[in-house]
Amino acid sequence: MQEEKYDISGMHCAACSASVERVTRKLPGVDRSEVNLTTGIMTICYDPSQVSPEQIIAKVEKAGFGAALHAENPESPPPSPAGTEEDPLRRKKAELITAGIFSLILLYVSMGQMLPFGLPALPLPDLFSMHTHPVNFAVLQLLLTIPVLYCGRNFFTSGFKALVHGNPNMDSLVAIGSACSFLYSVVMTFLISDAPHSYVHNLYYESAAVVLTLVSLGKFLESRNMQKTKGAITALMQLAPDTAILAASGQEVPTSQLKSGDLVLVKPGARIPADGVVTEGSSSVNESMLTGESMPVEKEAGSEVIGGSVNQNGVLYVQVTRTGQDTTLARIIRFVEDAQGKKAPISKTADKVAGVFVPAVMLIALLAAVAWAVAGQPFSFVLKVFTSVLVIACPCALGLATPTAIMVGTGLGARNGILIRSGEILEITHSIDTVVLDKTGTVTKGEPAVTKVVPLNCEETVLLQTAAAVESVSAHPLAQAITAYAKEKGLTGLSRPSAFENLSGRGLLATWEGKTILAGNQRLLEEHGISHAPLLTLAGQLSAQGETPMFFAADGHLLGLISVADPVKETSAAAIQALKQQGIRTVLLTGDRQAAAEHIGALVGVDDVIAQVLPEEKAGVVQQLQAQGRKVMMVGDGINDAPALTAATVGCAIGTGSDIAIESADIVLMRSDLRDVPRALRLSSLTLRNIKQNLFWAFCYNTIGIPVAAGLLYLFGGPLLSPMFAGAAMSLSSVCVVGNALRLSRAKL
């Protein structure tokens, strides 16, 4: 099976996207076809031996829409959104203002002579009075309506085209309703001279014009708001700078021309053009737009940097390691785009309804009109009912309910360093009741650090100086932890040992400043006959907690003990407490010893600890929990926990967004902060609630609006709904749905 994306043009509502899905799914070899109304992208999975891209495009075009392969060109900078979206929006605004002006004048002319409640008629030149010059009165309205029809021509071209292709959409409803009112009014205009006082009251030009204007207003507000929902992707795309400075020549070249291995100069205040490694210089780098981390990150020689982040106060020389679509920024953009392009399960209900909605509305409008005609109502009354039912029906609200919330939700997550792979994941994450946490690198920092310094018969400074000096010749992680700790304490410039020997499994023997230094475990001291009894109990306690105590002796005398461990992250306990407050059961899963695991578990407050589990066995533990009926989120580093991440209901990779993590996990937390796990769960809950609110509004609106438009209230002595009010209500419903989705963007996670 092959998966491809196509840009679909000509879609205006959920009925359109449902039509495209329906016709493409009928093609031989098509496994699935999903169309996202908000992004205009169709994702189709098919067997290339049975159907070709040309056949797919032809099928979509036969249904009345345009289709083209979705272009992804990472080598060229993304186009400015101003050139792609604001120009059509500006044109829509100009046409809307023009239509609004003519519609207001038309309303003044047509309704000003017929004010209710005994109000005096609005002044109008006698030349256009409905009483003295009825033909002039009608012709003026006709002339005022034509510019409005021209401004709303898209409704007619799109609506009738869709109708001819057998895929009626929302534009079809508006076009039929408005055209019927206009054509009926034109006929009445020609007949006015025969019976002026009868036909002059049967003009519905204002209905045809004002309906188009109000629906156009709704479309404009909807488009403007939809542009805001795409803000996350737009902001990410604008992060990549257009040019970079080559360090060797000082020449400024397009970023798209950079190759792996190039050395670039990044000045203070400039954006880093691509992923790379700092070879020279030091500075603070702002990575907030990529990781959500508000504090700048210190960078020096050897530090990795992310393309798109901002160099703040120093000059950096960066060797490029990844370009184009391989960069972290490009991967994040693809991640968010994929999430916004995939549908959540809850949207399937709306899609099924939308697929039959427009034909059903047309049938209801026709039946209502026939029923009132049979009941003896005049044709003008029947026309008003027919038009109102067509206009008030709004599949737009139905089709926008889910994708707009998904777009805003994934964008909100991206701004907070939480990348969610799909709408489905965003929806199901809220149902998680058990979070399984890997220990190393997730709950703990993942790198050894000094936790305790216990001097014996000497000052702490002496112990640290001796330890740092002899360990400086070792590449062992424990040795590096000690030398790093000594630097933090200001112990620098120490002389190196004149001789040293690595003793496998025990430690090392060194000569430093004329002294024989031993650095290692209990066994090393025993071999050299050095008593460690004063520190034996403490060493045993530290070992039981998963720490590694290291003894140091000089010329046969014990100097003390330094304990090294993988320390718990400062935020882990708070994160687990936040999960518990959400009613989530927490499980610590590790290959470490039981006693050490339980010590870490007690420090952070998890509900359960499962220790001494091999990496390949972690997936089995996740499956056992799922067999108990639990919805499990596995949180790991995305590499050695890959089987467990895949087996879990939701796999969550925590860290700095490594390649494997971004490609494999359902959720990627760009910061190494466990507090983003409860934030991701809250984001899911907020988004799902927003979707349900939108769907409720869309279904509720149509359930109430269509019967009222069909004359239900009039049947019981109430008013008959005007097509103008129907158009206003229809536009308002779409704007409300998109506006409610935008409200989600202001939520605090």
438 is catalytic: yes
**Burial label, 254 (beta-carbon count in 10 A; 0-12, 13-18, 19+):** middle
Q: Which residue has the tokens 């799922």?
A: 626
Retrieve residue 390's tokens. 């067509």
**Burial label, 499 (beta-carbon count in 10 A; 0-12, 13-18, 19+):** exposed
**Phi and psi for 242 in degrees, rounded to 5?**
-75, -30
Going 379 to 381 to 387 to 393, the CA torsion angle's sign is: negative
CA-nearest of 22, 736, 697, 712 to 359 is: 22
Q: What is the dihedral of CA 3, 9, 14, 15, to 10 degrees?
A: -100
For Cα atoms 207, 209, 213, give the angle at the middle one, nearest 5 degrees: 115
Retrieve residue 9's tokens. 């043009």
**32 sits in which H/E element:** strand 30-36
Retrieve residue 414's tokens. 């991206």
Which long-range contacts does 81-89 make (Cβ < 8 Å, 24+ apart)?
81/227, 81/230, 81/234, 85/227, 86/227, 88/223, 89/220, 89/223, 89/224, 89/227
Name the amino acid, one letter, at 689: R
Going 482 to 484 to 489 to 490, the CA torsion angle's sign is: positive
- What are the residues whose beta carbons fall under 8 Å from the beta carbon of 278, sequence distance 6 or more? 299, 300, 301, 302, 303, 304, 305, 316, 317, 318
- What are the residues whose beta carbons fall under 8 Å from the beta carbon of 483, sequence distance 6 or more? 468, 471, 472
Going 448 to 453 to 456 to 460, the CA torsion angle's sign is: positive
Q: Give yes or no for a contact between 449 and 479, defined as CB atoms under 8 angstroms apart.
A: no
Rounded distance, CA 215 to CA 213, Å? 6
Retrieve residue 415's tokens. 């701004």
Name the amino acid, one letter, at 178: S
Distances (CA, A) of 519 to 480, 483, 489, 692: 13, 13, 20, 63
CA-nearest of 552, 590, 575, 598 to 450 is: 552
Q: Give yes or no for a contact between 144 and 105, defined as CB atoms under 8 angstroms apart.
A: yes
Rounded distance, CA 681 to CA 677, Å? 6
Distances (CA, A) of 503 to 298, 406, 518, 539: 36, 58, 10, 20
Rounded distance, CA 440 to CA 451, Å? 16
**Choosing from 351, 438, 666, 676, which is the catalytic residue?**
438
- CA 41 and chain centroid, separation: 15
The residues facing 286 across adjacent strands are 310
The catalytic site residues sit at 438
